[in-house]
Amino acid sequence: MSDRHHRFKIGQHVEIIPTTLRAAAKGRYAIVRLLPADAGEPRYCIKSVAEKHERIVPEHDLVALQDAALSD
C-alpha cells in the first residue's frame, strides 16, 4: 500500500491529458471515486457527460480545472 495521498477529491472537475494512445472525449470530467494506488500512484474513476462509461486513470494523466470559471 502506498503512502501517497489523492490530490483530487470526489466531485472535483478535471481534464485528461491527451495522448495518442487514448481515445477520450475532450473537456471536463468529474471525479466519481478514489481508487487504490497502482504502482504507487493514486487512481481515479472519472466520468464525462459526453461519454456513457466511466474511466479509470492514474493521477499523472489528470489536470485540475477551476470550477468557479465553468458553468454547468
Using the structure block, give the residue that is written with the C-alpha cell 478514489.
Answer: 34
Tens digit of pLDDT per residue, the chain (72 long)?
A: 445 799 999 999 999 998 877 778 888 999 999 999 888 899 999 999 999 999 999 999 999 998 655 544
Any idea of the CA torsion for 23, 61, 52, 36, to the nearest 10 degrees?
130
How far, in Å, CA of 31 to CA of 8, rounded?
8
Smallest Cα–Cα separation from 52: which of 70, 71, 25, 33? 25
Sketch the domain layout of the chain as residue ranges: 13-69
How far, in Å, CA of 54 to CA of 47, rounded?
5
Q: Report pLDDT for 67.
A: 65
pTM of the model: 0.80
